[in-house]
A and B are shown apart, each in its own frame.
Chain A
Amino acid sequence: MIAEVDLQLHQCLGELIDNALDELVEASTEDRTLEPRIDITLPVSRTVGRSSAISVEDNGRGMSPTQLQEALSAGTSGKQRFGSLGLFGMGFNIATARLGTITEVRTGRSGDDRWVIATLDLTAMRRQSTYEVPLRYERKAREEHGTLVTVTGLREDMVIRLKSTRAIKETSGHLGRIYTYMLRDPQGGHSGAELMGGANQRLYVNKRAVSPHLPCIWDPNRSVTYKGSATQAATRINIPLTNAHACMNCGRWYTSAYNVCIECESTDIEERERRILGWLGIQRYADKSDFGLTFLRHGRAITYQDKSLFSWETPDGDYELEYPIELGMGRIVGEIHLDHAPVNVRKSNFDTSSHEWRFMVDKVRGPEPLRPQHAKRLVGHENTSPMSRFFNAYRENKAGLRYLVPGNGESSIHEATKAWGAKFRNGDPDYLTDEKWYQAAVDHDRFQSGPTPAAKLQDDDAWLQDEGLSHLSERGMGSLDMSDKDDKSDEPELIRPETEQERFTRYQSAATLLSDTDRHVRIGDAQPVLRVYVTSGVELTKDGQKQAYVVRIVAGEIEIYVDRSATLIARYGWSPMNVALVCAAPQLKNVYRVEEPIDQLITMILGQFPDRRVDATAVRARADSLLDDIRERLADLTAKDPSTYWNTLSSESRRAAEANAVSIAPYVDWSGAVENGEYARYLSAQGILDLVTDSPDLVLDGALFKTTYTSLGEDTRADQVARLGALLADLRRMTGGTPVFQTLELSRLLLTADLLEAEIAAT
């Protein structure tokens, strides 16, 4: 009967691993020289059969005959369950019975000279109606210690599972996720390692170490500004709870003192401290599914990438998804240890109806909506939980330091950063810390804001130098140390031609690498590394002639340098990447012997950069996010004189706002919203355009948009309104009506979004 409980292979092994980990954590505290390890042996696909064996062994302290006998008493626990992951008892019996029909436990302590062995043959036990387990003994060396559980007579479905060539790899992957905390090293050297913690245990499947699935988070020292203060990219959760009474036998918690456990009738009940511990962090890449919180009990992941805390439970018991909004891609991750909360028998979920779980939700996520304005409107105050602050500080996936998102100068590079995440998990030292991600966010901002003042200075210096006026340069003027101007000044300087290496080193020192390049790309039959650099303040030359670009192809590496001031970029708005590919394509075609025409070659290369594709969904998401932002800000303004501004709106805009309100919040108090100015939260882009056109005093001059208005003459005022109006008309096009699919128009709309965002005044 117990074999019918639906457990997968890794879940069955988990029960046995839990027991072993419980033991090893204590054993390695007791003996600092012990290298704790758990070895799982699974039959390989080509030899697996019913007679194969599955074994789990730990090198813990082992058990005496009495301890083993007690531990195996079916349905009861021989050791204290409190503070433990597993137990010999029902969990053990269910898991082993699910694997096969015969289980042998061999255990022994250091110093003893024999192994004590128990065989549980469920069929025989049933036949003989006895649940007594006789013990056998075998000679062992005194130094040896540990416990080995071997299951034979494998069930048919387990044999079928193990016949798959991927079974062992997949099982290791599952175990790496479930035991990520237990297996990882808190001194691992990756960003956030110490904050995330770990127990540094070792688990092997068929002699191969199981790798923990490391969370790829930003360093806790990184931050973005939210509401005028820094919000760290990773933060600890440490919420003390009131002490409670725990049954030391079965682990059940009681909020008040009980003499006898109602679960197992034990009288061993003690008062213990409870605490919700863990961390929240921002993943270094965004993804549609690879994010969320892991909830753990005694170090074991019970739920992995849980997204339930990203929805708000309305008073009616419905759920509104609040995160992720933009592109459906999220990056909030975290781990919450809930050692005191009850889990189901499979250890695959917490009891989410329990008081313990709901209390955690209230503390970590808060009972209010995460969106501050939404919360203020619905419950009268903002959500102040750690999750809410994270959500608001990092809700957007827009490239740059503002939201800590890597970019390539044009857009976010989610695909590229995800590929970097894979390198992080492979242990590549270049990707262990978040430096590469951070640099890509910095470089993105640098591309967006143009050459730095330093680069411009170099330009001026170069000109002065060419004119023989270097003593007037900033460096020359600023230098108080005149020792530079040494005696050599009168001597003619030896002019040595610059080597090619020196020339390219010079280019590199004035260049920024496009973050999503610097990786292998497929060109014809080759897979060279492609790097595209954008230079400022340095003259690119070939054969002494000034060039807009130069290409160097050496030993499977392609470097393309593009001058930021090149006409195609500066006057025609081409992206540096496009200029690089178009200009270098003939050379690449030749070197890599590509037979296809040049346009196909460029398409093939660009196709390997999905982040650079102009995407209708991305444009729509960007616009929706922008509109949300404007509406939230506007609501504070309309509240000053609600009826006047309401009357400003066209009847069409009023109807649209009402319809929008009903679709978002079906039971909205609409007349109240009209009276207090809350209607602004539901305005369409046309409604905002109405306010800009008919009530410019309300929204311009820094109130909502930076656009200068009042101080100008009448004609210029009209021009300002028309200019902003044109941008809002584009926003209307983006957020409503027929979706736009034409690439050129999508590009134009993205530019509009950039311009409109730049128009919004700082809070």
Chain B
Amino acid sequence: MGNIPADVRTAVIEEVVRRLDVARWEETSPSTASEMYDRFVKDPKIGGRLSPYMAAEKIRVWIKDGPAKEYRRALEGIGPIAPYTRRAYPGPESVVRLALGDRWITKTNTIKEKPMRCFAEGPEGASMFVIWGPLSALQGLIWNSCLVRAEDSSKPITVVITKPNSAPLPANEWDLVVALSHIVGAECKQITYAASRKPVL
């Protein structure tokens, strides 16, 4: 991987990220994602440019474990490919405000990823652990809440389920979130957290 010239690497990443933007990668099903990897490998602008530097079977892995894996983080503004996306999530401040209200402030130095989480400061010095992600990431959200709970049995925790639209989650899905959050002693919220296009400068 290291022997790819920097300009080729940049050009390929730009192209892959452009395609991921168009496909709205964060919503792509695993089977569609798999087809897309195959297309990328065959594509002269992607696989074609990489082929002098790595074997064909490595190209798929390079894309999958590289730009594709990084994409969701990039939407949060984190990681090396973030500058290449033309889309972005509203960010942690928006999550905290939507979940907890206008009086809560994100402690930016506490933001962590995989899954996205941070501490927020509320009125009169209150502190809250906030962790967020789509319903598909619920397992990780609950597990990380457990870790916080294990450290501090009284720390307030809010589990936030993000959705691309304002329609409430179906009742059966939301009931599960409520039940699991209750076990960890966490509050739970659902918020609209949709990617938007970055303004063209």
Contact = CB atoms under 8 A, between A and B. Distances in A.
B166 A59 contact: yes
Interface string B82-96: 000001001000100
Contact of B39 (A34, A108, A429): A429
A148 B197 contact: no
A429 B27 contact: no
A426 B35 contact: yes
B97 interface: yes
Given A143-B90, A185-B22, A428-B39, A33 B197 contact: yes
Chain A interface main SS type: loop
A227 interface: no
A209 B198 CA distance: 22
18 contacts: A33-B197, A33-B199, A35-B197, A37-B165, A39-B165, A55-B167, A57-B167, A59-B194, A141-B97, A143-B94, A144-B166, A144-B192, A148-B166, A209-B24, A426-B35, A428-B39, A429-B39, A429-B42
A111 to B, nearest CB: 13
B196 A35 contact: yes
A59 B165 contact: yes
A288 interface: no
B35 A427 contact: yes
Contacts of B87: 35
Nearest to A31: B196
Interface string A32-70: 111101010100000100000001010100000000000
B79 interface: no
Contacts of B197: 32-35
Interface residues of A, number: 30
Given A35-B195, A57-B165, A41 B39 contact: no
Given A141-B97, A143-B90, A41 B195 contact: no
Nearest to A43: B170
Given A35-B87, A41-B170, 20 more contacts: A32-B199, A32-B200, A33-B198, A35-B24, A35-B194, A35-B195, A37-B165, A41-B167, A55-B167, A57-B166, A59-B165, A108-B166, A141-B98, A143-B90, A143-B94, A145-B166, A146-B166, A148-B166, A209-B24, A427-B35
A145 B194 CA distance: 11
B191 interface: yes
B29 interface: yes
Contacts of A140: 166
Interface of B: 22, 24, 27, 29, 35, 39, 42-43, 87, 90, 94, 97-98, 164-167, 170, 172, 191-192, 194-200
Contacts of A427: 35, 39
A208 interface: yes
A143 B98 contact: yes
A207 interface: yes
B196 A39 contact: no
B54 to A, nearest CB: 20
A39 B194 CA distance: 13
A6 interface: no
A430 interface: yes
B28 to A, nearest CB: 9
A496 to B, nearest CB: 24
A115 B105 CA distance: 24
A430 B48 CA distance: 13
Interface string A139-164: 01101111010000000000000000
Interface in A121-175: 140-141, 143-146, 148
Given A33-B199, A207-B27, A209-B27, A141 B191 contact: yes
B27 A143 contact: no
Interface in A534-564: none
A185 B21 CA distance: 13
Q: What 6 pairs between A and B have smallest CB-CB spacing?
A: A57-B167, A33-B196, A141-B98, A33-B197, A39-B165, A429-B39
Interface of A: 32-35, 37, 39, 41, 47, 55, 57, 59, 108, 140-141, 143-146, 148, 185, 202, 204, 207-209, 426-430
A208 B196 CA distance: 18
Nearest to A28: B197
Contacts, number: 65
B192 A208 contact: no
Contacts of A34: 196-197
A388 B94 CA distance: 59
Contacts of B164: 37, 39
Contact of A143 (B39, B42, B192): B192
A426 B79 CA distance: 31
Contacts of A143: 90, 94, 97-98, 192
Contacts of A148: 166-167
B107 to A, nearest CB: 20
Nearest to B94: A143
A57 B194 CA distance: 14
B39, B43, B97, B166: most-surrounded residue (chain A CB, <10 A): B166
Contacts of B97: 141, 143
Contacts of A204: 27
A736 to B, nearest CB: 51
A427 B167 CA distance: 30
Contacts of A146: 165-166
Contacts of A141: 97-98, 191-192
A204 B29 CA distance: 13
A55 B167 CA distance: 8
Contacts of A426: 35
B101 to A, nearest CB: 9
Nearest to A207: B27
A208 B170 contact: no
B94, B167, B196, B197: most-surrounded residue (chain A CB, <10 A): B167
Contacts of B200: 32
A35 B164 CA distance: 10
Contacts of B191: 141
Nearest to B98: A141
Contacts of B195: 35
A426 B36 CA distance: 10
A33 B42 CA distance: 32
B7 to A, nearest CB: 23
B22, B170, B191, B199: most-surrounded residue (chain A CB, <10 A): B170
A32, A33, A185: most-surrounded residue (chain B CB, <10 A): A33
Nearest to A35: B196
Contacts of A144: 98, 166, 192
Contacts of B29: 208
Contact of B43 (A32, A33, A429): A429
A32 B43 CA distance: 30
A428 B39 CA distance: 7
